[in-house]
Amino acid sequence: MTHKRENWSSNFGFIMAAASSAIGLGNLWKFPYMTGMNGGAIFLIIYLVFIILLGIPILLSEMAIGRNTQLNPLGAYKKINKKWSFVGAIGILCSFIILSYYSVIGGWVIKYIVSFISGSKIKDSFTYFENFVSQPLEPILWHLLFMIITVSIVTFGISKGIERISKIFLPALLFLILIVAIKSLSLPNSNEGLKFFIVPNFKGINSFNDFLNICLHAMGQVFFSLSLGMGALITYGSYLSKDTNLKKSAIIIPLLDTLFAILAGLAILPAVFAFGYKPQSGPGLIFQVLPAVFNSMNFGIIFGFMFFLVVFFAAITSSISLLEVVASFCIDTFKWSRRKSTFLPAFIMFLIGTFASLSFGPLKNTTLLNMNVFDIATFLSDKILMPLGGLFMCLFVGYVWGIKNISNEITNNGKLSFRLEPVFSILIKYIAPALILIIFITTLF
C-alpha cells in the first residue's frame, strides 16, 4: 500500500503549525518558573542570546533536512547517510517519551479549566493540587481525555487536522494571553514583578558557578521551548514544498515562540509579586501559586479560566506535533494507514503516561536512582535524548552532509541568497556543538 505524502496548504499554515509546536508548555509552564528560579531578567537575556546561537541555526538545519528528504526523522537521516540514521531514531524516541508524560500535564490543565468553569474559586490551591495528583484514577482520566483530543486532531492529517487547528488556536492563544497579561500588569504592586522580569539584578549571582547554572538552564529551555532535537521540525519540514523560504521561517518561528514566552512571563510574574508570592516556586508555579493569585483577585475565576485555556491551547498544539513525529515514522516505515499510525503509538504512550501519573500517588515510593517514573521520563528526554539529538544533528550537518549541501537546500538551489552562510557554518560546526556538549556533561555530572 503506497501513501502519497501530505503537504501544508500554504507556507503561512506551516509557520502557524511550527510556531504552535514550539509554543507549548515550555512557554506557559516551564519558562515562567525557570525565569523565577534563575534571577528573572538575567535568565531572559541569556535565553535570548541562546535563541540566536542555538535555536535559529538548529531549527533551520532540521527544517532543511526534513524538506530535502521528505521523510520522517529516521528515514531522513538514513536517506542522506545510512550510518547516521540513529540520530533520527533518537528524535522519534524523544517525542514518544515526552508525549507520554506531557499528556499527563495536559490532563492537569483540563482539570483546572473544569474547576474554574464550575464557578468556585480553588481554595488552598497548594493542598488542592497535591490531593488531585496523588489520586490513582482521576488524573489518569484527564490524561486519557488529553490524549484522545491529540489523537483526534492528528488523525485528520496535516492540512485538515494539524494546520487547521493551529490556525485557530494560535490567534486565540495570543488574544487570551494578552488579556491576562494586561490584567496582571494592572494589579497593585505588579511593577515589582515587571522589574524582576525585565531589569537585570546581578546581586543574586554570587559566583561563576551561579552564572554557569543560569546559562545551562537557559540553553536547556531553548531546546525544550523550540522543540529541538526531538524530530518535530524535521517531520514538519518534510511536508514543505521546495519553494518555501526556510530562512524566513527560521526567523519567524523563534520570534513568535519568544514573544509568547515573554507574554507568559508578563502574565504570571507581575501577578505573583502583586500578591506577595515568590517567583522561585518551581514547577508548581502555575498549578499552585497562580490559582492562589486568581483566588485573591477580582474576577479571579474568569481570569483563571482564561489562563488555563491559554495553557491548554499551547499544550495541545505541541502534543500534536509530538504525536505526528511518531505517526509519520509509522506511515513511512511500516506503510500503515494514518489512523493506525496514530492510534497504536498513542495507546502505548497513554499506558506509559499512566505509570508516570501514578508516580505522584500509589507509585510515588517506587524509584530508580531516586527517581520515580515521571522523573525518569523527563530525565531521559530533557537531559539525554534532546541534547544528544541536537549535538549529533550539528555534527551531521557540519561534517557529514556538509555546509554546501545544506546551503543549497536553504537557498532553494541558488534561487535565494544566504549571506550569513559563514556565520551559520561556524555556529553549526563549532559553537552549537560545544555549548550542547557543555549542557550534556554538566547536567549528568
pLDDT tens string 165-180:
999 999 999 999 999 9
pLDDT tens string 298-318:
888 899 999 999 999 999 999
pLDDT tens string 55-110:
999 999 999 999 999 999 999 999 999 999 999 999 999 999 999 999 999 999 99
Q: For 140, what's the count of Cα atoms within 13 Å in the CB-facing half-sphere?
A: 19
Cβ distance 129 to 284 under 8 Å?
yes
Q: Which amino acid is at 368?
A: L
Q: What is the DSSP letter of 84?
A: G
- 440: cell is 550534556
Cβ distance 414 to 408 under 8 Å?
yes
**In the predicted structure, residue 190 carries a pLDDT above the cut 80:** yes
User: In this predicted structure, what is the pLDDT of residue 1?
Assistant: 46
Measure the CA–CA gap between 52 and 46, rounded to whole angstroms: 10
Q: What is the 3-state secondary structure (H, E, C) of 16-37?
A: HHHHHHHCCHHHHHHHHHHHHH
Neighbours of 381 (CB within 10 A): 24
* C-alpha pair distances (Å), 336 with each of 91, 307, 342, 372, 414: 20, 38, 9, 34, 37
- 188: cell is 497593585
| Whole-angstrom Cα Rg for the chain | 21
Cβ distance 266 to 104 under 8 Å?
no
| Residues whose CB falls within 8 Å of the CB of residue 205, separated by 6 or more in sequence, listed in order | 39, 42, 211, 214
User: In this predicted structure, what is the pLDDT of residue 120?
Assistant: 64
Measure the CA–CA gap between 96 and 349, rounded to whole angstroms: 7
**In the predicted structure, residue 2 carries a pLDDT above the cut 60:** no
If pLDDT is split at 50, 70 and 90, which confidence band does 26 have?
confident
Chain-centroid distance, C-alpha 186? 29
pLDDT tens string 400-427:
999 999 999 999 999 999 999 999 999 9
pLDDT tens string 191-247:
999 999 999 988 778 888 888 889 888 988 898 888 888 999 999 999 999 999 999
User: In this predicted structure, what is the pLDDT of residue 441?
Assistant: 85
**In the predicted structure, residue 125 carries a pLDDT above the cut 90:** no
Would you list the DSSP string of 165-214?
HHHHHHHHHHHHHHHHHHHHHTSTTHHHHHHHHHS--GGG--SHHHHHHH
Which pairs count as long-range contacts for 124-130, CB under 8 Å and 24+ apart, including other chains?
A: 125/287, 125/288, 125/289, 125/290, 125/291, 125/292, 125/295, 126/284, 126/288, 126/292, 128/291, 129/284, 129/287, 129/288, 129/291
Percent of all residues in the chain with a pLDDT value above 70, rounded to a whole number = 98
Percent of all residues in the chain with a pLDDT value above 90, rounded to a whole number = 73
| Residues whose CB falls within 8 Å of the CB of residue 248, separated by 6 or more in sequence, listed in order | none
pLDDT tens string 376-397:
999 999 889 999 999 999 999 9
Q: What is the DSSP letter of 363?
A: T
Annotation: CATH topology of 11-444: Hydantoin permease (1.10.4160)
- 125: cell is 490551591
Measure the CA–CA gap between 361 and 135, rounded to whole angstroms: 6
Q: What is the DSSP letter of 70?
A: T
**In the predicted structure, residue 296 carries a pLDDT above the cut 80:** yes
**In the predicted structure, residue 126 carries a pLDDT above the cut 50:** yes
* pTM for the predicted model, two decimal places: 0.94
* C-alpha pair distances (Å), 22 with each of 108, 226, 263: 20, 5, 15
Q: What mean pLDDT value characterizes the chain?
A: 92
Residue 354, classified by CB atoms within 10 Å of its CB into exposed (0-12), middle (13-18) or buried (19+), is buried
| Residues whose CB falls within 8 Å of the CB of residue 444, separated by 6 or more in sequence, listed in order | 383
**In the predicted structure, residue 3 carries a pLDDT above the cut 70:** no
Measure the CA–CA gap between 424 and 9, rounded to whole angstroms: 29
Q: Which carries the bigger pLDDT value, residue 357 or residue 297?
A: 357
User: In this predicted structure, what is the pLDDT of residue 250?
Assistant: 94
Measure the CA–CA gap between 270 and 184, rounded to whole angstroms: 6
If pLDDT is split at 50, 70 and 90, which confidence band does 438 have?
confident
Nearest alpha-carbon partner for 186 in 98, 294, 271: 271
- 445: cell is 555530572
User: In this predicted structure, what is the pLDDT of residue 92?
Assistant: 97
